[in-house]
Structure 1
Amino acid sequence: MVQIGNFFFKYRNWLFIIFYALLFVPNVPQLFTEKKFGKNYYWYPIAIGLVITVLGQAIRGATIGLAYIIRGGKNKKVYAEDLVTTGIFAHCRNPLYVGNILMLAGVGILSNSLLYVVIMIPFFLFIYQAIVLAEENFLRNKFGGQFNNYCARVNRWVPSIKGIGKTFSGMRFNWKRYIAKEHTTTFIWLVGIVLLLLFYYPQLTNYDSRLRNTLLAIILAALLVVYLFTRVLKKSGKLNG
């Protein structure tokens, strides 16, 4: 599994692109159908999907804003400068990955695709499990007993909320770092959510394609303006700190 994880780690950025693109494959068969859930069936995937996606983004945001970890790899290999055990990492060893999984699962449900939820999400979980095992192998070799002690008290996947209030009250949330690190990810996910909502659920615009296209243009333009403005702030150094 470690070798598999090292392979997927090397190409992890492309994997995200592939999984993201697969969201827009026609959602047949559907996860929620009018036959089983009634005329307003579409509110189920929308509500459930958005709640899970927002939860995933919240976990990512809390992780980055409190105690960010530099584990982006080096020369396409697993790498870490330090063993970070504070912030959300005191409650879960892989909170960023948990956030990613929830976000992908959320938009998968939002796409209302049975095949995506049943096949792609489990495959995504397998990939992440392999990557995490490869990372843990690296961290155990580098930090030894310190990492083993960390593993003994903190879950790999399931976050513990014990002491979470103390964690937030004892640390300063770095909004600048959060915005600087997350603005691109947030922009991409929001664009995907808008596309899924407007094209997969024509009921939301009363089956009026003209209204749909108008809303799409306005929302995407607004998101792009905010994104570009944030990029300017980052380039100017105003988001440093």
Structure 2
Amino acid sequence: MQENFPDKPGVIALPPVILGGAVALGLILNFIWPANFLPRELAIPLGILIALGAVGLAFLAVREMHAANTPLDVRKASKDIVSSGIFRFTRNPIYLGMVVLCVGIAFLINSLWILCLAVPLAFILQKGVIEREEAYLERKFGEKYLRYKASVRRWL
């Protein structure tokens, strides 16, 4: 473990801001060039189910992080590696939930633009947040994080 580094991951932006930016851009594009992709009576119930799944995923992750006394705020120092609960199946359930929520919103609003923006959202979260967090966690926790990283997938 190195001692001469900032005790935070140095992400490009707060992840909810990145999600909000993707949805806002999709809404603007949808306003200018409407692009529905499903009948409304199908899009809304599917959107509700997908969004509820995303919220449930995030809830499980938040509960585990609180139980481990580890901050959710990426601007704060991590206190431990959370590997219980939902973190046994994915290293990034909150970010996965954000991408799924973007898809759910796309269905709810019936916007092909927002649906398509879920892909760059995942890419930006991967490069600008997740990879920086992983490098930070490797520096801070060393072998403990590397073992966790080797045993649990990043997304699914």
- TM-score exceeds 0.5: yes
Aligned partner letter, 1:31: F
Report deviation, 1:13.
Answer: 4.6
Aligned partner letter, 2:90: C
Q: How does 1:138-153 map to 2 (within 5 A)?
A: 138-153=136-151
The Cα offsets for residues 35-88 of structure 1, whole Å up to 9 and x where unpaired, read as xxxxxx2122112211111000011112222443424133xxx74222111222
Whether 2:40 is the aligned partner of 1:31: answer no
- Higher Cα Rg: structure 1 or 2? 1
The separation in 2 between residues aligned to 1:121 and 1:98, in whole angstroms, is: 11
In structure 2, which of residues 93, 104, 107 is the aligned counterpart of residue 106 of structure 1? 104
Q: Is the 2:35–2:113 Cα contact (8 Å) retained in structure 1?
A: yes
Which residue is 1:124 aligned to?
121
The separation in 2 between residues aligned to 1:112 and 1:13, in whole angstroms, is: 21
Q: 1:13 to 1:54 in 2, by over 3 A?
A: closer
Q: 1:52 to 1:23 in 2, by over 3 A?
A: same
The separation in 2 between residues aligned to 1:138 and 1:7, in whole angstroms, is: 10
TM-score by length of 1: 0.53
Q: Is the 1:71–1:79 Cα contact (8 Å) retained in structure 2?
A: no
5+ unaligned residues in a row in structure 2: which ranges?
Answer: 1-8
Which residue is 1:18 aligned to?
21
Which residue is 1:63 aligned to?
61
Whether 2:6 is the aligned partner of 1:8: answer no
In structure 2, which of residues 132, 135, 141 is the aligned counterpart of residue 134 of structure 1? 132
TM-score by length of 2: 0.78
Aligned partner letter, 2:35: P
Aligned partner letter, 1:29: A
Q: Is the 2:22–2:114 Cα contact (8 Å) retained in structure 1?
A: no
Secondary structure in structure 2 of the residue aligned to 1:155: coil
Q: 1:7 to 1:141 in 2, by over 3 A?
A: closer
The separation in 1 between residues aligned to 2:85 and 2:103, in whole angstroms, is: 24
Higher relative contact order (CA 8 A, sep 6+): 2
Report deviation, 1:6.
Answer: 4.4
Q: 1:85 to 1:123 in 2, by over 3 A?
A: same
Percentage of matched positions with identical amino acids:
24
Q: Is the 1:8–1:127 Cα contact (8 Å) retained in structure 2?
A: no
Q: How does 1:1-241 map to 2 (within 5 A)?
A: 6=10, 8-9=12-13, 11-25=14-28, 26=31, 28-32=34-38, 41-68=39-66, 69-74=70-75, 79-118=77-116, 120-130=117-127, 131-158=129-156
The separation in 2 between residues aligned to 1:88 and 1:156, in whole angstroms, is: 12
Q: How many residues align?
A: 141
Report deviation, 1:23.
Answer: 4.8
CA RMSD of aligned residues (A): 2.2
The separation in 2 between residues aligned to 1:47 and 1:103, in whole angstroms, is: 14
The separation in 1 between residues aligned to 2:16 and 2:54, in whole angstroms, is: 18
